[in-house]
Amino acid sequence: MTLGVGQVQAAKKKSTIKLPTANKATFMLMPELPKDNIGGKQLGYFNLHVKPNQTKTVRIKVYNPTEHTINIYGQVKDATTNDKATVDYLGSHPINRQLLKQPGSQLVTVPKKTSLPAGATKRIVIKIKTNDSFKGTKATAINLSANQFNQKSAVKNAYRYAIGLILNGQVVKKSDYDHLKSPSIKTRFTKANKAAISIKLNNPDPMYLEKAKIKVKLQNQKWQFIQYTTTVKNGKIAPKTSFYVDLLLGGKRLVPGTYNMILTMHSNQYSKTLRKEVLITASQAKYINSLNAAYLRNRNWILGGIAGVLVIIGGILIRVYRVRRRKRDLHAKNGK
């Protein structure tokens, strides 16, 4: 369960914090947002400016509405991106260390365990310590969890909440944007066990891509009526993360061949078009360069041409050999 992550980085928009009722949750919580919180206190999550070699402290108020002492466990997670472009703050995916070499979670500490007596209120202290300066945004979340004991069923239910903690360093200039990239494509079964052509996308920039619309079209170069398409609307991509966009086959068989891929992404930050050539076999898909594609399209002609050239060269060599042999035989005869 997430709380307070709302419209992350949408500083001008308001989001309502809905606290769970006492009979459903193990504990209740409220972030105490500082006066300099970007976007104000109505956001429901921490959105902070940070400077090099700076120490900041923020707090989350927690309340135990039960009749038993509970233990609240704290963790710091880096935001990642789910497939189809939604942001995850609960640590459901490993971070891509090639993209995120210095995770924001390394700058934040939270108590690993807080004991909260029945009916008590406490403040959990989160410390932020920066070293060198960084550009753009480091997106993290404070994860707080506890177990709820149900006396009637003797079952423990785990409750977990995430409070967004966004750290903003130096502003990234538009001229420094690295823009969306696609390093690979493959076929696979999704988590819902559906067959798909899956396109991997990387957001290499330290910023969210918000209200992202992604359109993908794979067009067979030989048979125009064979194509695969998909659209993702109103997506959100976390900073320096990777994810997949799936073109579901929907029961259709994978048609081998060479395809042109056009992927367009429009977001509040920028627009980007990616063009790739894709080789699809009976069981897999991969990117190929234009030379590979040209070769595959004209392979028979190329092979036929090479064979013809070899025949001509062979004929020339045979003729040269025969001429030289005749001359040698003639010299030998005259010498006698």
Among 261, 299, 254, 238, CA closest to 185: 261
Q: Give CA separation, 213 vs 86, 209, 265, 308, in Å.
A: 12, 10, 6, 51
pTM over 0.85: no
Residue 216 host element (H or E): strand 209-220
> Dihedral of the CA atoms 78, 82, 84, 85 (nearest 10)?
-10
Neighbours of 153 (CB within 10 A): 8
Check residue 328 and give its pLDDT: 67
∠9-138-183 over CA atoms, to 5°?
100
Longest C-alpha distance within the chain, in Å? 125
Check residue 290 and give its pLDDT: 61
Check residue 11 and give its pLDDT: 28
Chain segment 178-223, per-residue pLDDT in tens: 999 999 999 999 988 999 999 999 999 999 999 999 999 999 999 9
Q: State phi, psi for 9 to the nearest 5 degrees.
A: 70, 0
Give 57-104 as a DSSP string. Answer: EEEEEEE--SSS-EEEEEEEEE-EEETTTEEE-S--S---TTT-SS-G
- Cα torsion angle, 322, 328, 330, 332, sign: negative
Taken in order of first residue, the domains within the chain and their CATH numbers are 28-171 (2.60.40.10), 175-288 (2.60.40.3480)
Lowest mean pLDDT among 116-130, 244-258, 293-307: 293-307
Residue 262 host element (H or E): strand 257-266
Check residue 299 and give its pLDDT: 57
| % of the chain surpassing 70 pLDDT | 79
Instruction: Tell me the pLDDT band of 83, cut-offs 50, 70 and 90.
Output: very high
Query: Quick check: 120 pLDDT over 50?
Result: yes
